[in-house]
């Protein structure tokens, strides 16, 4: 897929980003609700377009902004990063603790999330 973003190719990286920006601006303006005083929840607002550009480059797939699978992927990665805060430093110093206390160190949660990510990537 990366060769499709090379020199002289119809769809360049710049074109992919411009296309994504147009979709992002359209989605952004659709979510603005004047009846609520134009308050907009920004969580994942910029994560989705960036992920879409990267995913399009690598896998040739683009997700809609309201795709539940994409939101689940982002949530899973966020949860995974939080589990490193729980036991990351402890497990670096004492790796055997993942066998002794997998729940306390966050190892069991990490393995569950890794399985979810693995499943996600195999299905796509």
Tokens of 25: 């601006």
Domain ranges within the chain, ordered by starting residue:
1-65, 67-124
pLDDT for 4 equals: 58
The pLDDT value recorded for residue 66 is 86
Closest to 73 measured CA to CA, from 108, 118, 20, 21: 118
pLDDT at site 3: 61
- pTM confidence score: 0.70
Contacts with 110 (C-beta within 8 Å, 6 or more apart), sequence order: 80, 83, 84
Residue ranges for the chain with pLDDT beneath 50:
none
- Give the pLDDT confidence of 39-64 residue by residue, as tens digits: 777 888 888 899 888 888 777 788 88
DSSP string, 41-99: --TTTTHHHHHHHHHHHHHS----TT-HHHHHHHHHHHHHHHHHHHHHHHHHH-TTHHH
* 108 touches 57 (CB < 8 A): no
């Amino acid at each position: 897929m990366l060769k499709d973003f090379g020199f002289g190719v119809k769809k360049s990286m710049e074109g992919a980003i411009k296309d994504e920006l147009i979709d992002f601006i359209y989605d952004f303006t659709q979510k603005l609700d004047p009846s609520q005083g134009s308050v907009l929840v920004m969580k994942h607002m910029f994560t989705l377009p960036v992920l879409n550009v990267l995913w399009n480059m690598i896998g040739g797939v683009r997700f809609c902004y309201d795709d539940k699978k994409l939101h689940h992927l982002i949530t899973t990665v966020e949860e995974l990063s939080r589990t490193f805060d729980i036991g990351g430093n402890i497990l670096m110093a004492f790796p055997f603790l993942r066998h002794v206390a997998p729940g306390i160190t966050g190892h069991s949660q990490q393995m569950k999330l890794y399985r979810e990510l693995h499943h996600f990537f195999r299905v796509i």
